[in-house]
Structure 1
Amino acid sequence: MKFTVRRVAGPSRRHLRGQAVIWLMGTMVACAAILYGVFSTAQITVAKQRTINAADAAALAASTVQARVLNLAAYNNRAMVANEAFLIQMLSIESWLQYFGTTANNFGTLADIVGIFIPPIEVIGQILDKLATATNKVHDVLVKVDDKAIIPLIEASKYALVNAHMAVIKVGGVLAEDAATKVVEANRTNFGTHEDVGVEIDKRPKVRAATFIANEKDWLNFTTQYTGAGRKDSAEVVLESRDRFSAERNGKWYFNLNAGLVGTEKRGGSTLKDFNHWETEDTLELWEKVPCKSGMCKEYQPIGWGRSNADKNGSAGEVWEPKRMAQKFAYEEATSHGGNGGKFMNWSGVPEVWDVKDKSAKARATLGVDFIVATRKSRAAVLTTNQMGMGEDTPAVTGSGDMKERAEADQYTALAKSRVFFERPQRGLANDKTGGPLWRPDNAKEYGSLFSPYWQARLTDLTPLEKAGMLAAMDMLPDKVLYTPGGQDKP
């Protein structure tokens, strides 16, 4: 069988030469255009993210500074309360020593009289007399220490801490602003003599009015100094800080005997009058029931007594129960010592502490301080293809290469808000691994005050109203609240 091969007419190799180059060039142009767009998009995205990160970091840094200022104030308030608790301890010890000395002296005198008829009892009387003498010497030393050292030191410390509070709280907002600015500046790249423009705090007047001035106003309005009759909370904290000995010294059962018609009663403790006067007192009395109009009434006979006072002018205070002789003797004992014991001068009263201004029940759940930051990065500082001169408009027959990016006001802007809030760890919180040492013994919910150092900082979202105000300050239309990230939280 015979086969015949036929040739099909077609383009010659000479005619096909160069077609691959055309396709390659077209592909390279398409790839360059894609790379052009991807590079610029990536640079813009990075610029936006850095602007956002700088704003978040600045806001959190500012609130962290404010939280630390509030915690410092809380520690200082606690120091003042501890000093006041120490003062009342010393006054209580002095009162008790007076009481112990008079009791020992009176029992010693009684033992001396009985010892005339029962000689062995005279030895007990002599021991009690020596014990009373020794107690009185210790008491006299303690009076001088209280008068010359303890009260002056407590007052000097109080004065220093109160004024330090005023200074720190007044500049707390400025310190927070400085922290925010430095954090933003730290985002700039510096190498050699070149400094990248980078992200900066938006310092245009209207923006500063909506951020710095508003932040400063919010900070200064958050706390206030409580003076005069406004020291109720401060006094309550001081009273609750007393130890059992300072607060109540009514004695054990063997000092409070009850044999029906006769018995003994030990009373003692401390009381604060009008925020400016401490009174401490101790008495031991013998009582007996005697007939009276209402039946049988107790009639008290003094055995031992002691008292100590402190205020600005060294006043004697008041008799706790005028109908009982031991109370009168205690009052007279304090009065008779004058400036050398029993009553002390130059105590200025309960400290005039700084604390949160709004203590209403309505404010408790949302108590805190807000801080808003606006950062910006100029479009000219973002190295896009357009900034490198690759997107210039040319009259080429292939068309224009103009692909300029668009940015309102020629800048990239970010808003951030942080909040200082109070939260003390509570028992039973989920995933709380370290809060055990901080739990309250009564497991109660604790609300914010400047007596507890549990102020913290966190980022939060702007309210729509806040964001609209910021956009207006930036000369932007407030409608962007509806379709830009953030600012959707309800007020």
Structure 2
Amino acid sequence: MGDRPIAMPSTQQGQAMPLALVLLIVLCIGLLVTFNTGQITGKKVEITNAADAAAYSIAVEQARARNLAAYLNRGRVANEVAVAQMVSLNSWVTMVHSTSANFQDITKWAKFIPYIGPVIGAIDKALQVVNRALKVLRKNVLIPGFKLAIGTLDQVLNRAYATTAQVVLSDLANEANLHAMVGKIVRDNSPDAKVSAAGRTVLTMDAAQANNDLTLFKPGQVDGLHRTNVGGERYRNVVMASRDDFSRDRRTSLGPLGSNGGTDLVEYDRWSGVDVHEFRLNLLITTIKIPLGWGGTQAVDEDQPRFFAGMNNGRGWRSPYDNRTYRAYNGVTSRDIAGRLIENDPASRDQGFQKREAFFTQYKHGITHPYYDVKEPARGERVGYAELPEGDKAGPIFTVEVETEARNARSSSAIGAGAGRMELKDDARGGKLRAMASAQVYFNRPHEYAPFKRMVWGRGDGKFEQGSMFSPYWQARLVETPRADKLILLAGP
């Protein structure tokens, strides 16, 4: 039998091509999905950064505005302290002048006493020189210089500070500035994005709430001896607590000889200071005080009011910061002989000074200018506004919503890729991509610094200082968007 050829199995051709096409379609769809995801994610990150930048910038701007107002208020307080120092110094120098003049009168008779006469005569000559020097100092330097300085501080600087602080924190300036600033910041970070209509509504509401958290107090030129108001008391408390030691307490003693005096903001537009040097004889049941010299000075408008009884009709100043009551004029009263002498002759008439020279009438306004400060806590509130640096009551929150057209993400559908069955539609609410962010202005004077830094910037008692428009420690931070703002934004078109 002859050999027969072996039959080879037939090969199948063309079956892999459909599989390759399917894989290619899946690959293309995957690439489009990846491309779209990257584009949309990139645009979302961009507008999120824009929203963060806008919200944080608003908070920073508002914190700076509050800090500027605080610095301006502190400037006014510093000016008031300077007026108190000038009143104190003139009153004290008048007392020294009066004392030296009275001692000189005594030495005129004592220098004829045998043996000690030459010594008394030398003292008399020295007192003559002192008296002449003090008279020239008061007449040509202190009185005209202090009048000019007080007029400048009160009528020029304090008015300018008060006006600027009101403009910085005014409702109209805040709202207009916020909308202009947020629009620019959004465009700088995402040129094709803008603040949504709902976002502008929320921002307007936030600005109104921020302004509502502050109150414009108006001390006014009222009779601060008999009638008070909240604004006047708040500001006067800060000013009185800020006095230097010389203005607050001029008590000194050397054996039976001693001096005493103090300067108080008796009303909202009147500084008054008195000084006395006296001989004190302590007996069992009382102390006899014989005045050797005295003086008084007031910074007022035009009148020449009485010195006594003093602040709060002689009751003194009740400090809300340390719960202490400080006596009017540091204890000098009209019941003493010195008090009556000061009332009748505060400028040392026997040395050629008229009573009117004890009154600096360039002090026209005092602390009567309006000023902004944080609201008082509502009755029953456990935590008042800006009392703690954490929480929704730490300070105002500003929310920004940024939107852009979904096609600005340059996805496949936006650029025309993947038409037909390969088209992947962008499903965005209203055809827009959105991002929201919130930032808060809060007050925090830190207390955990090292000793030197704590001495300069922070508290050393471990307590939180309550926020106010007198302390420039307002700061900014990003926070979670409040639920109320979210609901409004999510309900928008």
TM tier, smaller? 0.7 to 0.9
Amino acid at match of 2:477: R
- Matched residue, 1:214: 205
- Matched residue, 2:362: 346
- Matched residue, 1:362: 384
1:286 aligns with 2:257: no
- Would you say the 8 A contact 2:447–2:460 is kept in 1? no
Q: TM-score, normalized by length of structure 1?
A: 0.82
- 1:30-179 aligned at under 5 Å gives the runs 30-117=26-113, 118-140=117-139, 141-170=141-170, 171-179=173-181
1:322 aligns with 2:349: no
- Would you say the 8 A contact 2:257–2:279 is kept in 1? yes
- Percent of aligned pairs sharing the same letter: 25
Distance 1:92 1:435, change over 3 A: closer
Separation in 1 of the partners of 2:452 and 2:136?
A: 54
1:11 aligns with 2:32: no
- Would you say the 8 A contact 1:69–1:172 is kept in 2? no
Separation in 1 of the partners of 2:295 and 2:232?
A: 29
User: Can you list the C-alpha shifts for 1:367-415, whole angstroms capped at 9, x where unaligned?
Assistant: 311111111011122211111223434xxxxxx3342121111111122
1:84 Cα deviation after fit: 0.9
Amino acid at match of 1:158: N
- Matched residue, 2:438: 417
1:272 aligns with 2:265: yes
User: Can you list the C-alpha shifts for 1:137-169, whole angstroms capped at 9, x where unaligned?
Assistant: 212221111113333333210001111111111
Distance 1:180 1:239, change over 3 A: same
What is the SS of the residue equivalent to 2:467?
coil
Separation in 1 of the partners of 2:5 and 2:346?
A: 139
Amino acid at match of 1:241: S
Provide the aligned C-alpha RMSD in A: 2.6
- Would you say the 8 A contact 1:369–1:420 is kept in 2? yes
Q: How many residues align?
A: 437
- Would you say the 8 A contact 2:183–2:195 is kept in 1? yes
1:22 Cα deviation after fit: 4.8
- Would you say the 8 A contact 1:62–1:177 is kept in 2? no
Separation in 1 of the partners of 2:422 and 2:452?
A: 59
Amino acid at match of 2:427: R
Separation in 1 of the partners of 2:246 and 2:215?
A: 33
1:10 Cα deviation after fit: 1.7
- Matched residue, 1:479: none
1:333 Cα deviation after fit: 2.6
- 1:367-378 aligned at under 5 Å gives the runs 367-378=394-405
- Would you say the 8 A contact 1:56–1:417 is kept in 2? yes
- 1:442-457 aligned at under 5 Å gives the runs 442-457=461-476
- Matched residue, 2:193: 199
Separation in 1 of the partners of 2:339 and 2:443?
A: 46
Separation in 2 of the partners of 1:5 and 1:322?
A: 148
- Would you say the 8 A contact 1:356–1:449 is kept in 2? yes
Distance 1:188 1:458, change over 3 A: same
Separation in 2 of the partners of 1:433 and 1:248?
A: 28
For structure 1, the 5+ residue unaligned runs are 190-197, 258-262, 394-399, 476-491
Separation in 1 of the partners of 2:342 and 2:462?
A: 41
- Would you say the 8 A contact 1:173–1:219 is kept in 2? no
Separation in 1 of the partners of 2:434 and 2:266?
A: 58
Structure whose alpha-carbon radius of gyration is higher? 1
- Would you say the 8 A contact 2:199–2:402 is kept in 1? no
1:26 Cα deviation after fit: 3.5
User: Can you list the C-alpha shifts for 1:205-243, whole angstroms capped at 9, x where unaligned?
Assistant: x543332x2022123213233222212222122112211
Separation in 2 of the partners of 1:452 and 1:33?
A: 61
Q: TM-score, normalized by length of structure 2?
A: 0.82
For structure 2, the 5+ residue unaligned runs are 220-228, 310-332, 378-382
Amino acid at match of 1:470: L
- 1:399-478 aligned at under 5 Å gives the runs 400-427=421-448, 437-472=456-491, 474-475=492-493
Separation in 1 of the partners of 2:206 and 2:298?
A: 46
Distance 1:468 1:279, change over 3 A: same
- Matched residue, 2:406: 379
- Matched residue, 2:183: 181
Separation in 1 of the partners of 2:357 and 2:417?
A: 91
